[in-house]
């Protein structure tokens, strides 16, 4: 599996690049944001990484603060309070001495590590990701986003809400490594000779409900089937790693993360 440690860096570069591309009237602001993020990164690397690891995913001395959902979902004020106060009794120092400006830069960078800090939805990356989703990536053949798309795969409208950039990326490139049996299409032949391929939506001892590739549902008595087999390959293609470039993967990730933001 290619869960890469460099993703965080790549995402950050993406963020910086999108800020840099922002149009004229916001250039001052984006310069500031870029500097703020760089300052947050420096603080993280010198003050936090020694215990939490460079990617925030935890190390010997301190837990994961990049992907654990109870930490990721803490509000900004709650996280800032935590950084200011620390929990010295449990080994997390207080960082009040950094001052509120550096703490707020640090918080922004922490959000990037948590996959929440991507540039806003309107940025070039997310836009290109959206095109890839419907175009070259073919994702929308199987995945619904906000009411448009296919139904074979799960609806991804809210996926970015609960998943980090790394999670999303690994879901895209390692479909075949995800846990779960029967990821493949089911192929049935009925005793009267009909053949249907589709996804099992429900199954019990006596019956199986399939959603066929054309979207129609079929409730079949098992006793009426002469054959029920499953493809070993998952429905979701597992070669995106080679079909899409690094940049394209990041654009898709930005897009899926951005949907959530657009909704707010
Ligand atoms: C000396 C090691 C150390 C350093 C340096 C450190 N932490 Fe921690 N941090 C910890 C430990 C240990 C915990 C777990 C505390 C606990 O169990 O409540 C923790 C917990 C946390 C938590 C989650 C708190 C919770 O409720 O679990 C956050 C967020 C956090 N640290 C952020 C940071 C940030 C940001 C920095 C840099 C400014 C930082 N830490 C620096 C050791 C450290
Ligand atoms: C041929 C259909 C198909 C295509 C094309 C496809 N997927 Fe999927 N995808 C699926 C199915 C089915 C699953 C559920 C697999 C499982 O649970 O093991 C899935 C799972 C996922 C998941 C994890 C969802 C979850 O709930 O855990 C993500 C994220 C995802 N796909 C993104 C994409 C993206 C991005 C693309 C385009 C680059 C894409 N998929 C293309 C069928 C597809």
| Spans of all domains in the chain | 7-113, 124-176+239-263, 186-230
Residue nearest to atom 5 of ligand 2 (CA): 139
Q: Which range among 3-7, 48-52, 53-57, 170-174 shows the weakest confidence by mean pLDDT? A: 3-7
Q: Do domains 7-113 and 124-176+239-263 have the same CATH topology?
A: yes
Domain 186-230 class in CATH = mainly beta
Report the chain's mean pLDDT, rounded to a whole number.
81
Between the CA of 164 and the centroid of ligand 2 the distance, in Å, is 16
The pLDDT assigned to 8 comes to 44
Measure Cα distances from 183 to 172, 201, 221, 234, 255 in Å. Answer: 15, 11, 21, 5, 25
Residue 163 CB less than 6 A away from ligand 1: no
Options 3.65.10.10, 3.30.2310.20, 3.60.20.30, 1.10.760.10; CATH of 7-113: 1.10.760.10
Mutate to test the pocket of ligand 2, among 168, 169, 175 (most ligand atoms within 8 A of CB): 175
pLDDT band at 6 (very low <50, low <70, confident <90, very high): very low
Residue nearest to atom 13 of ligand 2 (CA): 153
**117 pLDDT exceeds 80?**
no
Question: Which residue, chain included where needed, has tokens 């798309």?
Answer: 149
Q: Distance between CA atoms of 39 and 165, rounded to whole angstroms?
A: 21
Between the CA of 153 and the centroid of ligand 2 the distance, in Å, is 5
Q: What is the pLDDT of residues 153-203, one digit of tens each?
A: 889 998 888 888 888 998 999 877 766 645 688 999 999 999 999 988 888
Residue 48 CB less than 6 A away from ligand 1: yes
Measure Cα distances from 253 to 16, 81, 87, 245 in Å. Answer: 16, 30, 34, 12
**Two structure tokens written together for 29:** 């602001």
Q: Distance between CA atoms of 257 and 34, rounded to whole angstroms?
A: 20
CB 176 within 8 A of CB 238: yes
Q: How far is CA 97 from the centre of its chain?
A: 34
Q: Which range among 87-96, 143-152, 169-178, 190-199 shows the weakest confidence by mean pLDDT? A: 169-178
Q: What is the CATH number of domain 124-176+239-263?
A: 1.10.760.10
36 or 143, greater pLDDT: 143
Q: What is the pLDDT of residues 27-40, one digit of tens each?
A: 554 566 778 888 89
Ligand having the closest approach to the CA of 256: 2
Mutate to test the pocket of ligand 1, among 47, 50, 62 (most ligand atoms within 8 A of CB): 62
Residue 114's nearest CA partner among 48, 34, 172 is 48
Question: Which residue, chain included where needed, has tokens 């990356």?
Answer: 125
Residue nearest to atom 35 of ligand 1 (CA): 48
Q: Distance between CA atoms of 245 and 253, rounded to whole angstroms?
A: 12
The pLDDT assigned to 52 comes to 92
Q: Which atom of ligand 2 is nearest to the CA of 244?
A: 38
């Amino acid at each position: 599996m290619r869960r890469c440690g460099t993703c965080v860096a790549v995402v950050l570069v993406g963020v910086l690049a999108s800020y840099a591309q922002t149009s004229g009237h916001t250039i001052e602001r984006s310069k500031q944001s870029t500097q703020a993020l760089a300052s947050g990164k420096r603080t993280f690397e010198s003050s936090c990484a020694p215990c939490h690891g460079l990617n925030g995913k935890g190390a010997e001395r301190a837990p994961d603060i990049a992907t654990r959902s109870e930490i990721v979902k803490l509000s900004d004020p709650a996280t800032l309070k935590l950084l200011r106060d620390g929990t010295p009794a449990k080994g997390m120092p207080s960082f009040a001495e950094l001052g509120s400006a550096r703490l707020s830069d640090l918080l922004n960078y922490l959000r990037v590590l948590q996959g929440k800090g991507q540039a806003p939805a309107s940025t070039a990356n997310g836009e290109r990701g959206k095109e890839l989703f419907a175009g070259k990536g073919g994702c929308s053949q199987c995945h619904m986003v906000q009411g448009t798309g296919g139904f074979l795969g799960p609806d991804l409208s809210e996926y970015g809400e609960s998943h980090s950039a790394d999670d999303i990326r690994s879901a895209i490139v390692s479909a075949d490594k995800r846990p779960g049996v029967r990821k493949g299409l089911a192929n049935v032949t009925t005793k009267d000779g009909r053949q249907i391929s589709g996804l099992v939506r429900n199954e019990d001892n006596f019956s199986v409900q399939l959603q066929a590739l054309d979207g129609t549902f079929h409730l079949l008595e098992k006793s009426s089937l002469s054959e029920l087999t499953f493809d070993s390959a998952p429905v979701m293609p597992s070669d995106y790693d080679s079909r899409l470039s690094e940049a394209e993967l990041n654009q898709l990730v930005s897009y899926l993360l951005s949907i959530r933001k657009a909704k707010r």
